[in-house]
Structure 1
Amino acid sequence: MSTQSNLEGAYLAQGTIGNVGMSGAPVVNFSFVVVPSQHKVTGSVHVTQAIQNGNYSGQVTGTIYATGFGSVTQVVAIKGMIHSDGDMPIEIPFEAHLAIDGSWNGTGGFAYANTHIENVPVVSKK
């Protein structure tokens, strides 16, 4: 028995979630493989914040759906576990949600540990 997965239309999406350039603000850098035909998103996130032990990285999975809501053409929800890039060997849950256009620009939010960020820019990496 052979199993084939339908990866037709798969693409790479990269960018940021957060107020880039705002001193001390947490920012998420993401790199996702998106398979719209399966409504799946998988990839990695890297959270940076200008505080001690403020950087985290991890793998995430999620879903993507078309909306039909004007300029917001897609919604994405992801979750996974991230771990500290510092000396503290901790792993914590991470979640993010995005309301974006076809170019992966829009608005979103994310949460990890005691940090909850809402209504921040989502900007694709050119």
Structure 2
Amino acid sequence: MADLLAGAYLAKGTIGNVGTPGAPIATFSLVVVPSQHTVTGTVVITQAVSGPDSHIVVQVKGRIYSTGLGQYTQVVSLQGQYVHSVPPPAIGSFLADFNAHLAIDNAWNGKGGFSYWTHTVENVPVKSVNVLKEQAV
């Protein structure tokens, strides 16, 4: 089992225009296993507006691959679903999709985008907050 997780590390950061008033920001905390090309974790979408889309928590899974091209050395895709509640006067909830795509360097900085429910955010910065790469135990 230890061999399957060899090289696993934690990646934390943001996708979006941090500092821009009202801009949706996706904050990620992901466990990355490059040898298996897998990424799993949590994304929290926040927006400085009231309503059902102002704070969303999504459990995600995805894939990571090396590109071997230019400054963006890796590409990442993330997918997940979350419960979206319909605001009054309507009543109800349903599962809404979340998707993200990142073109990043080895430090998890680059460009990307994400979509959720009826929102799409494209060509925004991806900024690493903390990437902890550990050696196999």
The TM-score, its normalising length taken from structure 2, stands at 0.83
Partner of 2:133 in structure 1? none
Match of 1:29 among 27, 39, 42: 27
Gaps spanning 5+ residues in structure 2: where? Answer: 131-137
Name the SS for the 2:22 alignment partner: coil
Aligned partners of 1:89 and 1:10: how far apart in 2? 36
What is the number of equivalent residue pairs in this alignment? 122
Which residue pairs with 1:39 in the alignment? Answer: 37
Shift in Å at residue 9 of structure 1?
0.2
Letter in 2 for 1:40: T
Q: Which amino acid aligns with 1:34?
A: V
Query: How far, CA to CA, are the matches of 2:8 and 2:112 in structure 1?
Result: 22
Structure number with larger C-alpha Rg: 2
Instruction: Give 2:17's aligned residue.
Output: 19
Please give the alpha-carbon distance, in whole angstroms, between the structure 2 residues aligned to 1:103 and 1:83.
32
| Identity percentage of aligned residues | 53
Paired letter, 2:71: S
Distance (Å, rounded) in 2 between the aligned partners of 1:26 and 1:41: 22
Partners of 1:7 and 1:76 in 2: CA distance: 18
Q: CA deviation at 1:39?
A: 0.2
**Aligned equivalent of 2:121, options 108, 117, 121:** 117
* 1:7 aligns to 2:5 (yes or no): yes
Letter in structure 2 aligned against 1:38: Q
Give the 4+ runs in structure 1 shifted more than 4 A: 87-90
Structure 1 position 90, deviation (Å) = 4.5
CA root-mean-square deviation = 1.7
Q: Which residue of 2 aligns with 1:75?
A: 75
CA drift at 1:84: 5.3
Tell me if structure 2 keeps the 8 A contact 1:55–1:84.
Answer: no
Q: Tell me the equivalent position of 1:94.
A: 98
Q: Secondary structure at the match of 1:69?
A: coil
TM-score by length of 1: 0.90
CA distances 1:90-120 after superposition (whole Å, capped 9, x unpaired):
4311000000000000000000011001000
Write the distance in 1 (CA, Å) between the matches of 2:8 and 2:83: 27
* Unpaired segments ≥5 residues, structure 1: none
